[in-house]
Structure 1
Amino acid sequence: MTDLLTSALDRFGAEIVHVGQFDYGSVFRERRLRREPFLHWAGDPRFANVLAYWDSGDTLFGGTSFFTETVEIDPASMRRNPSEPNAVTVIAELSGEARALMPRQVLRAQLDRAEAMGFKVDAGFEFELIVLDEDASTSRDKGFEGLEKFAPDNKCWSGATANTHAAFIAGMEAEILGHDVSLYALSVELGPGCLEATQAATEGLRAADDAAFLRMAARSYARKQGKTASFMPYLGKEYPGIGGHCTMSLRDKSTGANLFSDPSGQTNDLARKFIAGMMQVVPEAFAMCTSSVNAYRRLAPGSWAPKSLTWAEYPFTVAVRSVPHADPRARLEFRVPPADCNPYLTMALMLGAGLDGIERDLPAPPPAEAAHPDFVPEGAQRFPRDLAEAAGRLAASDHAKRIFGTAFTENFAAACRAEYASLATAVSAEERARYLEG
């Protein structure tokens, strides 16, 4: 392993190594080491196993013993880190007791399953984000209320906004690309300060890695500019709900051909079986892609987010949007996940459910005909209304335990319950205004 890591460091000319992994909240938990100390540490690498039992507030929700667990460094994950000269980032995953609990390993298991079935997996994420004209101190000084907007005059896809703030957008793009993320586009979107970052399709684990590093890079760049890049799904009624859509296709492992492509230009039988698996599993394991309390506010009536598991060719108002094609551009788009979704678990959910549909030869229901996202067709499964309901569904799901493992399913359900409980007694200014004098 040391030789592999030395070769990788040499290719990048690296003298500084940021080594770590993304947790349930998609936070990169790392150590920063100079080259020689890193190679010494790599002889017996370990990291605190609390990462498997931490909620988004760094509070323990589970586990029985806490120690420095062995980790496995993935040399293939090494990428540039533009935050300082001659620096790289590399992922090292817990490899002992907690191995099966961690997001990247949950995804790896589904990718291995796909390969055993003769498939390679291409995927990419599209994230919306809100930029605020606040830094870490000013937002706290204001108690996170009355926050200043960035580009408050923005309209969806506004050329005026894109040109006015071109330097900021170009700078963020450069920061993201500097982390070797496969960025396809960075554009303005709907609402004040809203941008949309789209990844190019990438194979396997790298797709989820890129998604996680994309968000880290956007946040870091905004901070350096005295601003905040937020992926919080719903900031309030003055802002749009923002999503983190996952696009996926399967390729033949031998030939590389896109197996969702069809000469007819329509959704083929394999893609329909994939969709059928999602229809059955996703409503039960929904917490895997929507695991924050706030994300469920994005699913309120009137929003663009679908409220049930539906599919159709092309419309933006269904949960699974099929984009059929005769050439390799054929793909499926999972449009429900919020912008703060865990990319590893979201991709694992979509892939694991889809493969299950293929293995079990499930028939897809007819495509939805409704033109608006609030419509729930007869027979369609509604999504959970809050994180508590989602955690309960996940914990009770035999499909989730069978596909993703009982240990992970139970541990992640516990994490979601703890996340919900952390805000169960929180009261907003809007609630006080409505009920204080009633």
Structure 2
Amino acid sequence: MRELIERLPPAAQTYLDGRTLDEVECIVSDLPGIARGKAMPAAKFAKQPRFYLPNSIFFQTITGDWADAATDDGFTEPDMILTPDFSTATAAPWTGDWTIQVIHDMSLQSGAPVPVAPRNVLKRVVGLYEARGWKPVVAPEMEFYLVARNTDPARDIEPMMGRSGRPAAARQAYSVTAVDEYGPVIDDIYDFAEAQGLEIDGITQEGGAGQVEINLRHGNPVKLADEIFYFKRLIREAALRHGCFATFMAKPIEGEPGSAMHIHHSVLDIDTGANLFSDATGAETEAFGHFIAGLQTYLPSAIALLAPYVNSYRRYVKDHAAPINLQWGRDNRTTGLRVPVSDPDARRVENRLAGMDCNPYLGIAASLACGYIGLTEGRAPSPQYIGDAYAAPEGIPKGLAGAIELLRACEPLKEVLGPAFTHVYSAVKDAEYAEFLQVISPWEREHLLLNV
């Protein structure tokens, strides 16, 4: 057991200092970003170098149904090999005993990476950058809602009750007082994050009722995706402690802004550490334009990963803090691609189209993939958009079905993400959309029942 503890990161060792480790959760991310795996006594975990899960976890829809994406051998559910990545080991501080979580690498029995595993998809994209001497850097932002407990799907989602006894108020962006309304939940988020060794760059109130944003520091894409994977779980657990829900739905409340996962991108030269988006004089480079052009060209085909559910497209509403275009601009939050104010060394591009409901590994992988193709193809971006870009033409699919078809038809994107992954992902999304079409909404009953 001592050898196991010594392999853990410092934060996990500090958490367990003077305590006995009881349990280890061996986890991986499925396509939606749900933690799958198994829990076991720590003593057993310490004796096993690897574990096994069937590949069927990647064929399951968000409702628990199955997609028809079997191989030529049929749907036989062969085991995948899970190997712990000890650099990801972190506390699970909400549990009743002393537990750590460990994200596992996933490989086929041949030893090759599982091509449909989201973490492997992101590693594949990062590896393409590294093969060209480039180091991608990202900084994600997480938006989510704290809402009242909702156990009846037929009921509308409502804001949580604040400590004042009143529901969380809307249209209070950046209000410190508004954040204080759910201070106990925020306190637990901070405490859980500290116990897990996760660094928060800042917490702010967003424009929706009970909507919060957490910013993370920039860094390695895989590490940051791991952190968002962990953060989603810890935020949900903190909310449950205080009688409310945390939701990462793209559009949980009618009439309120949606929740985004904005992704800031820069690319460094591995040898020199220089930002490829700035030259020696501090001016913007051609690579900067190529990256933007790649996003403009290929994001429509990648939207199925950035907006993975039918609800995702309810977020893309004009003048509701969710850009619906592929324009780029400097310090312009109405453009889908924003260049924030920064020094030349920190020059970056912010992709504002990704929803918080996306799998963080896949959302970051898709965005980086578009920029990568732009860099390799040497495309030129459109002119910078000046003014309110909501007046610009809309540039993204209107719904999930159209987004899936664009993904299927985009050969460059499929090649970067992996053909096996895009095949399975598209099949799962087809199945989810077919399930959705079987549900009759209140809107249809209200307006069609007696009028058509």
**What is the TM-score when the length of structure 1 is the normalising length?**
0.91
Q: Which moved more, 1:295-304 or 1:307-316?
A: 295-304
How far is 1:292 from its partner? 0.9
Q: What SS class does the counterpart of residue 115 from structure 2 fall into?
A: helix
Q: Look up the match of 1:208.
A: 225
How far is 1:259 from its partner? 2.8
Q: 1:393–1:10: structure 2 CA closer, same or farther, 3 Å change rule?
A: closer
Superposed CA offset, 1:382-433 (max 9, x none): 2111101111111111122221121111111111111211211322223322
- Aligned-partner Cα distance in 1 for 2:300–2:157: 35
Contact 2:205 2:211 in 1 (8 A): yes
Superposed CA offset, 1:40-98 (max 9, x none): 332x4211211211111122113322133222322222223222454321111331178
Contact 1:157 1:188 in 2 (8 A): yes
Pick from 8, 33, 51 the counterpart of residue 57 of structure 2.
51
Contact 1:242 1:298 in 2 (8 A): yes
Q: Look up the match of 2:164.
A: none
Q: What SS class does the counterpart of residue 47 from structure 1 fall into?
A: strand
Unmatched segments (≥5 aa) in structure 1: none
Q: 1:364–1:179: structure 2 CA closer, same or farther, 3 Å change rule?
A: same
Q: What SS class does the counterpart of residue 301 from structure 2 fall into?
A: coil
Q: Is residue 24 of structure 1 aligned with residue 31 of structure 2?
A: yes
Contact 2:37 2:53 in 1 (8 A): no
Unmatched segments (≥5 aa) in structure 2: 162-166
- Aligned-partner Cα distance in 2 for 1:10–1:294: 38
Q: Look up the match of 1:34.
A: 41
Pick from 305, 309, 312 the counterpart of residue 295 of structure 1.
312
Q: Which moved more, 1:106-115 or 1:420-429?
A: 420-429
Q: Is residue 334 of structure 1 aligned with residue 341 of structure 2?
A: no
How far is 1:132 from its partner? 0.9
Q: Look up the match of 1:78.
A: 89
Pick from 348, 372, 385 the counterpart of residue 355 of structure 1.
372
Kindly provide the amino acid, as one letter, of the partner of residue 334 in structure 1.
N
Superposed CA offset, 1:329-379 (max 9, x none): 221111001111111111111112212211222212211224143521xxx
Q: 1:160–1:358: structure 2 CA closer, same or farther, 3 Å change rule?
A: same
Pick from 402, 410, 418 the counterpart of residue 389 of structure 1.
402
- Aligned-partner Cα distance in 2 for 1:101–1:31: 20
Kindly provide the amino acid, as one letter, of the partner of residue 247 in structure 1.
H
Q: In the comparison of the two structures, how many residue pairs are matched?
A: 428
Q: Is residue 95 of structure 1 aligned with residue 111 of structure 2?
A: no
Q: Is residue 228 of structure 1 aligned with residue 245 of structure 2?
A: yes
Where in structure 1 do 4 or more consecutive aligned residues deviate above 4 Å? 2-6, 262-266
Contact 1:301 1:374 in 2 (8 A): no
Contact 2:158 2:253 in 1 (8 A): no
Q: Look up the match of 1:105.
A: 120
Q: Look up the match of 1:153.
A: 169
Q: Look up the match of 1:321.
A: 338
Superposed CA offset, 1:151-172 (max 9, x none): 4324222232123333332222
Q: What SS class does the counterpart of residue 390 from structure 2 fall into?
A: coil
Q: 1:292–1:267: structure 2 CA closer, same or farther, 3 Å change rule?
A: farther
Contact 1:15 1:86 in 2 (8 A): yes
Q: Give the root-mean-square deviation of aligned CA atoms.
A: 2.4
Pick from 280, 300, 321 the counterpart of residue 283 of structure 1.
300
Q: 1:125–1:146: structure 2 CA closer, same or farther, 3 Å change rule?
A: closer
Matches within 5 A, 1:131-280: 131-134=146-149, 139-141=150-152, 143-145=154-156, 147=158, 149-150=160-161, 151-154=167-170, 155-262=172-279, 267-280=284-297
- Aligned-partner Cα distance in 2 for 1:383–1:241: 16
Q: 1:428–1:185: structure 2 CA closer, same or farther, 3 Å change rule?
A: same
Q: Look up the match of 2:76.
A: 65
Q: Look up the match of 1:121.
A: 136
- Aligned-partner Cα distance in 1 for 2:445–2:284: 50
Q: What SS class does the counterpart of residue 7 from structure 2 fall into?
A: helix
Kindly provide the amino acid, as one letter, of the partner of residue 79 in structure 2.
T
Kindly provide the amino acid, as one letter, of the partner of residue 153 in structure 1.
A
Q: Which moved more, 1:329-338 or 1:44-53?
A: 44-53
Give the % identical residues: 24
